[in-house]
Amino acid sequence: MSATATGATTTTTPDTSDAPYFKSYASIHIHEDMIRDEARTATYRRAIFALGDRIRGKAVCDVGAGTGILSVFCAQAGARKVYAIEASDMAKQARLIVMENNVQDTVQVIHGRVEDVDLPEKVDVIVSEWMGYFLFYESMFESVLLARDRWLNKDTGLMLPSAATLYMCPVHEPYLAEEKVAFWSTFPKERYGISMASLGTFAKQCLHEEVAIDPIEPEQCLAWPVQAVSIDCNTLTLAELRSISGTFAFRAIVSNEMHAIAAWFDVEFPCFSDETDGQAVAQPESSDRETAQTTARKRVRLEQTEQGTKEPIVLSTSPDAPPTHWRQTLFRLLDPVPIQQDDIIAGSVRILPDEQYKRFLGVQLSLKHKGNSILENKHFRLTDGSLAQ
């Protein structure tokens, strides 16, 4: 056990299964991707400053602090104390960032896992950028909930973000499958005189089995997206997190072939103040699709939220929102399904921890069209291989 000057302690508990996960977050490359993601980082900055008196003079816990940028934002917004907990060796670099920005009297970087840390006081705000691909990949949210249950003031404490919603949508996406099948049909024959067209079927099967993290265009959507899962970060329990499920039904708005189900998420932040850090947020061009989708969801997106509305601040990873490093998640069908306008596509999703490695994710998907089963409890795994495509 080690103690700090302010009383926070850490107890080292070996967990070799998590070593690759924390090693990946000690690399500069993943943090560069996150800092470059302006939609992500600028939204967090705006949300922190929008807390106003709810953060000034208060204690904050930053779970999974990484480079410490969110902790620095909290200090600049007037927090009395910020406990920046980071399990990877990036904690050493975070201390340098804190010193570089002259907030070392406010921000205390704690090198350790939430499970091994003891704070000397309750906190008023917990901030964390815990979201992974398909919202839940990497299972970091468990640590956030543990921090909430241990340290957040029960009556007045705030969670940033405070809510999250997972959306799903049928999409037209023939390009990659066609490219893979065409490759095996033509390239080996043309270059080497060897026919390998039979591998096209296997390549298509592999695409169906793998979850892809790819950007899509709004025009590829065959229906308005629907809410499949919604969570309240203030009340969700660990038991509920470990078995999340939802149902959905789409009504097609165009006639085309359906090749995949796409998924993305929004997260919400509470807004109590008109204050900002003085930084303008870029406003993308509006579109009829964006306006209709926003109205249907009754949500306020980052790009549409004007200063001073006191509406929740929203970070969206939708294909018609500013691009983010999360992109969209694609579950490809084995064969395309012809869809006519006004057809109903219904299904269910269940999200479970992976049986082999807790940072991976299991997704069980069922899908029906005109009463015919397209997917029946099809099990997908979201792994590191999904990110390499």
Per-residue pLDDT of the chain (389 residues; tens, 9 = 90+): 555 545 687 775 555 566 655 556 667 888 899 999 999 999 999 999 999 999 999 999 999 999 999 999 999 999 999 999 999 999 999 999 999 999 999 999 999 999 999 999 999 999 999 999 999 998 899 999 999 999 999 999 999 999 999 999 999 999 888 898 899 999 999 999 999 999 999 999 999 999 999 999 999 999 999 999 999 999 999 999 999 999 999 999 999 999 999 999 999 999 998 776 655 443 434 444 444 444 444 443 343 343 344 799 999 999 999 999 999 999 999 999 999 999 999 999 999 988 777 778 999 999 999 999 999 999 999 887 655 44
Query: Looking at residue 126, what is its pLDDT?
Result: 99
Query: Looking at residue 181, what is its pLDDT?
Result: 87
- Same domain assignment for residues 83 and 195: no
What is the domain-level CATH number for residue 127? 3.40.50.150
- Same domain assignment for residues 136 and 253: no
- Same domain assignment for residues 233 and 347: yes
| Domain boundaries, position 65 | 2-162
Q: Is 311 inside a domain boundary? A: no
Query: Looking at residue 137, what is its pLDDT?
Result: 92
Among 86, 100, 121, 129, the active-site one is: 129
Query: Looking at residue 60, what is its pLDDT?
Result: 99
Q: Count how many Cα atoms sit within 13 Å of the Cα of residue 355 in the half-sphere of its side chain.
A: 4
Q: Is 103 inside a domain boundary? A: yes
- Same domain assignment for residues 151 and 179: no
Q: Is 207 inside a domain boundary? A: yes
Among 32, 86, 100, 138, the active-site one is: 138
Query: Looking at residue 295, what is its pLDDT?
Result: 44
- Same domain assignment for residues 219 and 200: yes
CA separation for the pair 136, 1 (Å, rounded): 31
Could you confirm whether 306 is annotated as catalytic? no
Could you confirm whether 190 is annotated as catalytic? no
Q: Is 206 inside a domain boundary? A: yes
Query: Looking at residue 20, what is its pLDDT?
Result: 58
User: What is the chain's Cα-based Rg?
Assistant: 22
Q: Is 307 inside a domain boundary? A: no
**pTM of the shown model:** 0.87
Instruction: Tally the domains of the chain.
Output: 2
Query: Looking at residue 303, what is its pLDDT?
Result: 36
- Same domain assignment for residues 151 and 230: no
Q: Is 275 inside a domain boundary? A: no
* Residue 71 tokens, joined: 């902790």
